[in-house]
């Protein structure tokens, strides 16, 4: 791809084509599942430095998959996670593309897998009218949208929808049906239980009698549901031919004095069902939710071209990563060394930090900013401006005639 700063220009002259090559030697799975976990921040995962060690099921399974150690969410709302993970799209000021008009036909993981013969389905515990999720999904490559009205009437539910275990049950039911039919399946599941009022089915996780339900109970329950689902995949034999990505849609809370409090945006992501070479492997590179789709596609044995803003993380060095972030009305680019934030009325804020693992940001005035940080502002303007122009011009669909690239130059893991 061209350097980011060269992407700015009139919409009629813009194209975005990301070539994604399969990882060498991987076998294409019969089923691929993306689990978007509501409000699952890294703060709950012990091995990611979380002080609230509540997501123990996911944490103890890190050695079974390929984990990302420095993943940053697009924003702090579910719709931001959807556009980042599913559409590999950067966050724009204003509404996420899930809620914007004219999102029909935008390239997504669903449209990519559908083009390769997979049935595609979205599973959600609430009603799809919320945040325009169902219309977005059905216009972006999903064959069907399974929602609360499709769940058992007596299922445990809150104002947000049925409990996570019920959604996973429905997903597993569909996976077994597709296996019986010999039908490839790509599915997305969006959980709901880790949300106020934090009410969950009794008896799933230990909880002191009389203690008021809170965030801890909801996180522990949501985490239990993920672990239980992965166990059932193994018990039914589905795990042998299923690639699963479990990722937070965004962090649990937003705090900090910076224009974009990036520590609150750290989220876990683990790819399960990967090739043996990747089990227990860790990617330390700073990365974004937009990178998940290209990486999943490569791990699934596909080689394609698509208008995705992310990149396949397999084989990339630990240094040199970046993430795209949105907070309130600001957007920005985070790198190992700094943060450039674009604000209203062409204003911007600049920060430096000692390195990728540091959350100690120092505000820098324009006149004192190093050249590389000012160039980061140019990159941010180019990326977000290009994303807006391409979206408005409806130039983010898959090629009219979809063609896989021959698997002649696969990526070899380091």
The pLDDT value recorded for residue 407 is 46
| DSSP string for 137-153 | HHHTT-SEEE-GGGS-T
User: Quick check: 182 pLDDT over 60?
Assistant: yes
| DSSP string for 218-249 | HHHHHHHHHHHHHHHHHHHTGGGGEEEEEEES
The secondary structure of residue 411, as a DSSP letter, is: B
Band the pLDDT of 188: cuts 50, 70, 90: very high
Alpha carbon 26 to chain centroid distance? Answer: 22
For residue 153, count other CB atoms closer than 10 A to its CB.
8
The pLDDT value recorded for residue 349 is 96
Question: Which tens digits make up the pLDDT trace of 92-101?
Answer: 999 999 999 9
**161-162 and 157-158: which strand pairing?**
antiparallel
- Tokens representing residue 163 in the block: 């409990």
How many helices (H) and strands (E) the chain has is answered by: 8, 18
Mean pLDDT of the chain: 93
| Partners of 327 in beta bridges | 330
Residue 287 in 3-state DSSP?
Answer: strand
The pLDDT value recorded for residue 400 is 53
- Tokens representing residue 225 in the block: 């549901």
Question: Torsion angle of alpha carbons 274, 276, 277, 280, nearest 10°?
Answer: 80
User: Rounded to an integer, what distance in angstroms lies between the CA atom of residue 282 and that of residue 285?
Assistant: 9
Band the pLDDT of 255: cuts 50, 70, 90: low
Question: Which tens digits make up the pLDDT trace of 313-357?
Answer: 999 999 999 999 999 999 999 999 999 999 998 899 999 999 999
Q: Where are the beta strands (DSSP E) in 183-321?
A: 185-190, 242-248, 266-272, 282-283, 287-288, 304-306
- Tokens representing residue 212 in the block: 């008021």
Question: Which tens digits make up the pLDDT trace of 205-231?
Answer: 999 998 999 999 999 999 999 999 999
Band the pLDDT of 261: cuts 50, 70, 90: confident
Delineate the domains of the chain, giving CATH numbers in brackets: 19-317 (3.40.720.10), 327-392 (no CATH)
């Amino acid at each position: 791809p061209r350097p980011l700063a060269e992407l700015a220009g009139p919409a009629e002259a813009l194209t975005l084509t990301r070539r994604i090559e399969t990882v060498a030697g991987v076998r294409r799975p019969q089923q691929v599942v993306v689990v978007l976990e509501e409000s699952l921040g890294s703060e709950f995962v012990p091995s990611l430095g979380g002080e609230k060690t509540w997501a123990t099921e996911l944490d103890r399974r890190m050695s079974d998959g390929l984990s990302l150690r420095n993943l940053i969410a697009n924003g702090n709302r579910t719709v931001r996670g959807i556009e980042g993970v599913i559409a590999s799209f950067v966050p724009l000021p204003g509404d996420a593309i899930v809620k914007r008009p004219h999102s029909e036909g935008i390239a997504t993981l669903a449209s990519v897998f559908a083009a390769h013969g997979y049935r595609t389905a979205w599973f959600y515990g609430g009603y799809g009218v919320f945040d325009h999720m169902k219309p977005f999904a059905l216009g972006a490559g999903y064959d069907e949208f399974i929602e609360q009205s499709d769940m058992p009437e007596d299922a445990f539910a809150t104002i947000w929808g049925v409990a996570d275990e019920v959604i996973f049950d429905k997903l597993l039911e569909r996976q077994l049906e597709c296996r019986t039919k010999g039908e490839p399946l790509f599915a997305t599941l969006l959980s709901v239980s880790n949300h106020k009022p934090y009410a969950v089915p009794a008896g799933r996780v230990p909880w002191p009698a009389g203690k008021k339900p809170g965030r801890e109970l909801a996180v522990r329950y949501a985490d239990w549901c993920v672990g239980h689902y992965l166990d059932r995949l193994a018990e039914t034999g589905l795990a042998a031919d299923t690639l699963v990505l479990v990722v937070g849609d965004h962090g649990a809370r937003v705090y900090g004095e910076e224009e974009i409090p990036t520590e609150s945006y750290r989220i876990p992501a683990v790819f399960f069902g990967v090739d043996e070479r990747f089990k227990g492997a860790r990617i330390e590179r700073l990365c974004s939710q937009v990178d998940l789709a290209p990486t999943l596609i490569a791990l699934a044995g596909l080689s394609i071209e698509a208008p995705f803003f992310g990149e396949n993380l397999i084989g990339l060095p630990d240094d040199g990563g970046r993430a795209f972030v949105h907070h309130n009305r600001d957007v920005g680019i985070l790198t190992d060394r700094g943060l450039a934030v674009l604000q209203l009325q062409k204003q911007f804020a600049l920060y430096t930090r000692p390195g990728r693992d540091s959350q100690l940001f120092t505000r820098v005035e324009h006149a004192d900013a190093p050249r590389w940080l000012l160039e980061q502002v140019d990159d941010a303007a180019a990326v977000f401006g290009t994303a807006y122009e391409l979206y408005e011009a409806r130039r983010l669909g898959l090629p009219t005639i979809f063609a896989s690239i021959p698997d002649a130059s696969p990526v070899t893991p380091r």
